Amino acid sequence: MEGTRKILRWIDALSEWTGKAVSFGILGLAFVIGYEVVMRYGLDDPTIWVHEFSVMLFGTAMIISGAYTLRYNGHIAMDIAYGRLSERTRAILDVVTCFALTLPFLVVLIWFGGERAWKSLIRLEHDSTQWAPPIYPFRLMLPIGAFLFLLQSLAKLVRDFIIIFGGKSEAGR
């Protein structure tokens, strides 16, 4: 039990720190696009790199933070019927939906995203634009982000099992 709890805390911490790290990407996004606005409209000297760089910042921040948002229960759900159930019944439902919906979706993203990222990585693929940045690190973000999300979902799954078979005290965060 102690070992399990340690792993759960470790997954929470991983989601926490990856999420907090990429959150500053949004700050970067604002200032990078702001820089482009000044260069283009102010100095009439548009950059060739801002557009691609900003979508990379955006995509990375959004995909990596799925786990962080899950950790804080931030993915909205419709709780009209669900909210009235007992904690144990909710945990059972969560286990069912985790296997039926969450795991298939994330596994598909990891598998097929990973395939695409791998093809990109072995060719050290660059974007086919004027700036031509390496694109493979960005391609890797999808399987990584989905994997982090998967880890946090599995942590939730374990907690649900603890609620179902033990008591809520054991599941404490």
Partner 1 sequence: MDIGTITALLFLALIIGLLSGAPLVMVLGGTTVLFTYLLLGPQALMMIAANTYGVMHNFIIASIPLFVLMGSVLERSGIAVELYDTMYKFLGSVRGGLAVGTVIICMIFSAMCGISGAATVTMGLIALPSMMERGYRKEVAIGCISGGGALGILIPPSVPMILYGLFAGESIGALFASGVFPGMLLGGLFIAYILVRCYLQPDMAPALPVEARPTWREKAGSLKGVIAPIILIAAVLGSIFGGIATPSEAAAVGAIGAFACAAIAGKLNWSIIKESCYSTLKLSSMIVWIIMGGTAFTALYTSVGAVDFIKEVMGTIPVSPYVVLLAMQCAVFVLGMLMDPGGIIMICTPVFVPVIKHLGFDPVWFGLLFIVNMEMAYLTPPFGFNLFYMKSIVPADVSMGDVIRSTVPYVVLQAVCLIICILFPELALWLPRMLLGG
Binding site for partner 1 (CB under 8 A): 19-20, 22-24, 26-27, 29-34, 36-37, 41, 51, 54-55, 58-63, 65-66, 68-70, 72, 74-83, 85, 90, 93-94, 96-97, 100-102, 104-105, 108-109, 111-113, 115-116, 138-139, 141-142
Smaller CB separation from partner 1, 156 or 171:
156
Of 158, 165, 163, 168, nearest to 10 (Cα)? 158
Tell the smallest beta-carbon distance from residue 84 to partner 1 (Å): 10
Rounded Cα distance, 10 and 149, in Å = 14
Tell the smallest beta-carbon distance from residue 34 to partner 1 (Å): 5
Of 161, 141, 169, 163, nearest to 63 (Cα)? 141
Smaller CB separation from partner 1, 10 or 82:
82
DSSP per-residue codes, 125-152: -B-SSSS--B-HHHHHHHHHHHHHHHHH
Smaller CB separation from partner 1, 6 or 134:
134
Smaller CB separation from partner 1, 4 or 164:
164
The tokens for 132 are 């031509």
The tokens for 104 are 């298939």
By the 8 A CB rule, do 26 and 59 touch? no
Smaller CB separation from partner 1, 46 or 166:
46
Rounded Cα distance, 54 and 32, in Å = 7
